[in-house]
């Protein structure tokens, strides 16, 4: 399972804490991506047309 996240996302942090607490963290492939309206990340936009890197 992949988690695309941004460092400032509170939702991604919640998912990481949950995965750690439930011992699911080894099953996650954590991928850090930064996006913004002026610097679109094509990989993120492929999965999410809004361009948000949320869990």
pTM, rounded to two decimals: 0.65
What is the overall mean pLDDT for the chain?
Answer: 80
Q: Residue 14 has what pLDDT? A: 93
Res. 37: pLDDT tops 70: no
Please name the residue ranges forming H helices in the chain.
10-21, 42-47
Nearest to 26 by CA among 50, 55, 3, 54: 3
To the nearest whole percent, how much of the chain has pLDDT over 70? 82
Contact (Cβ atoms closer than 8 angstroms) between residue 44 and residue 33: yes
């Amino acid at each position: 399972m992949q988690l695309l996240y941004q460092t400032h996302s509170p939702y991604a942090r919640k998912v990481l804490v949950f995965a750690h607490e439930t011992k699911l963290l080894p099953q996650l492939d954590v991928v850090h991506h930064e996006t913004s309206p002026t610097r679109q990340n094509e990989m993120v936009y492929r999965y999410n047309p809004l361009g948000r890197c949320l869990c």
